Amino acid sequence: MSSLALTAARASLLSCHMCHRLNTSSPPLSADSTVCCSRCGMELHSRKPNSLARAWALTLAAMILYVPANILPIMTVISWGEGEPDTILSGVIALIEADMLPIAALVFFASITVPVLKLLSIIYLLLSVQTHSTWRLKDRTTLYRLTEGIGRWSMIDIFMISILAALVKLEAIATIEAGPGAVCFAAVVVLTMFAAESFDPRLIWDVTEQASHD
């Protein structure tokens, strides 16, 4: 890897996050002044502000909520006065028992694999940046792009609950109610999406700049 890579930051240029226009960073930046993009007016930053702190805060909040999201019922099927609560995992097991293996695999992937992998991958990216790791920079950037793109698919369960609640409302015979687990799970999905959005992948590469200064 060339240590003389010419980045926008090194050339004192600011790349617009929204429209990708390059802007000069003059007049010099003071702590409280902001520079806006000459083309789209978006506020410009060389790196996303407080990227690591924000991504950590959102990730930790998501990790904490991940526990009740899996323990509490995401929905309850009430039939003849008796409620049968369903968690994320019991929903997958019910699909397996009904021999709906492809759908079970889909729900398992979207509701269990994706959130866990996403949390682990953001934590790994954050730690690797903070320890100035120079290991597999390109692969870590690819990991970031995957993490950013895949998070929305975890919303399947939330939509499913909304549809079941809309259809199954036969008072005494059968009613489906959303449970508190669903709120926690939705929060996990939204928080991890914001966490991925807050993380700045350019920080992965900034370590090559620091190495060349030594």
Partner 1 sequence: MIRILLEALIACHNCDLLHQRRFLQHGEWASCTRCGACLYQHKQDSLNRTLSLTLSSFILIIGANVFPFMTFKLQGRVQEALLLTGVQELYLQEMGVLAILVLAVGVLFPLLKIFGILYVLLPLKLGRRSWKAIPVFRFVETLHPWAMMEVYLLGVIVAYVKLVDFATIVLGSSLYAFVGLILTMAAADAFMDSESIWDELEVS
Residues that bind partner 1 (CB under 8 A): 5-9, 11, 13, 15, 17-24, 38-42, 94-95, 98, 100, 103, 106-107, 110, 137-138, 141-142, 144-145, 148, 152-153, 155-170, 173-174, 177-178, 182-183, 186, 190, 193, 197, 201-202, 204-206
Nearer to partner 1, 11 or 211 (CB): 11
CB of 60 to partner 1, least distance (A): 20
On whether the CB atoms of residues 206 and 132 are closer than 8 A, the answer is no
Stretch that binds Zn ion, among 39-47, 117-125, 126-134, 166-174 (CB under 5 A): 39-47
* Helices of type H across 88-155: 88-97, 101-108, 114-130, 137-150
On whether the CB atoms of residues 14 and 8 are closer than 8 A, the answer is yes
Nearer to partner 1, 126 or 190 (CB): 190
Structure token pair of residue 3: 């240590």
- Is 42 a binding residue for Zn ion by CB under 5 A? The answer is yes
- Is 13 a binding residue for Zn ion by CB under 5 A? The answer is no
Among left, alpha and beta (phi > 0; psi -120 to 50; other), residue 171 is left
On whether the CB atoms of residues 121 and 143 are closer than 8 A, the answer is yes
